[in-house]
Amino acid sequence: MPFSDYRSALVTGASTGIGAVLVQRLAERGLEVHAVARDRERLTALSRATGCVPHAVDLTSTEALTRLVDGLEIDVLVNNAGVSRTGTILTADEFAVDEQIAVNLRAVLHLVRLIMPGMVARDLGHIVNISSIAGVYNFGGNTIYHATKSAVHTLSRQLRVDGYGKRVRITEICPGRVETEIFGRVLGDPAQAQREFFDGYESLKPEDIASAIEFAIASPRHMNVGHIEILPTFQVPGGLNFERRTD
């Protein structure tokens, strides 16, 4: 739809990376943008730069999410926040499981539960979920992250069924490697993450993902961009491994 059809947006994970760039883009499009993240200082700086409404909120608290949206009429919801941890299910601890489910999936479900009924009632709205190629392809990595992003992938398709007959559009953005801080947080060392994941690679930038989201939101009223898979040109999501055993 034309951006002029919308008045407001809510973006999670807004203090840095994709979220921060998108907040700026949506504000420039004339929307009142509610920027949600845990880092109050960064949100304050983002508010000064963009005019967004900052909300320092812990997404793992359902009570906090309920208070956040109380009284708000949100036209565009972008579920961008995400966390990851190293290791597979063989090495994962309780915190790794609970945190990733809480941020990557439970918060998404609750925000959609709280906001989408208003969109349906107004016959107007757009929900954008940021998943990952980890949600649709199997490769070595964090099993819990794969599982939560796979759930977001399925949820995104299901929401179109739930909103059938209403002008509420659902878009899943499915990126490959994007140069954001999540890799530094996973390793606990941003410099190491820069060397290991980005130096010498043509990675995606947050601006690339924000541009794809802008395209989906600005598409004509009769057009729902359901799934956009975006990878660096030199990254592929597949590969067939076959362990040779003779015992």
CB 130 within 8 A of CB 230: no
| DSSP string computed for 76-105 | EEEE------SS-TTT--HHHHHHHIIIII
Distance separating alpha carbons of residues 170 and 70, to the nearest angstrom: 22
Q: Which residue has the tokens 């608290």?
A: 61
CB 9 within 8 A of CB 24: no
Q: What phi-psi label fits residue 82: left (phi over 0), alpha (psi between -120 and 50 degrees) or beta?
A: beta
- Would you call 145 a catalytic residue per the annotation? yes
CB 84 within 8 A of CB 182: yes
Q: Which of 92, 74, 68 has its CA nearest to residue 26?
A: 74
Q: How remote is the C-alpha of 102 from its chain's centroid?
A: 14
- Helix (H) or strand (E) holding 24, with range, is helix 17-28
Q: Which of 215, 80, 95, 217 has its CA nearest to residue 152?
A: 80
Q: In Å, what is the CA distance from 114 to each residue of 24, 68, 131, 209?
A: 24, 10, 20, 25
CB 167 within 8 A of CB 127: no
CB 173 within 8 A of CB 126: no
Catalytic residue among 6, 137, 145, 201: 145
Q: Which residues are catalytic?
A: 145
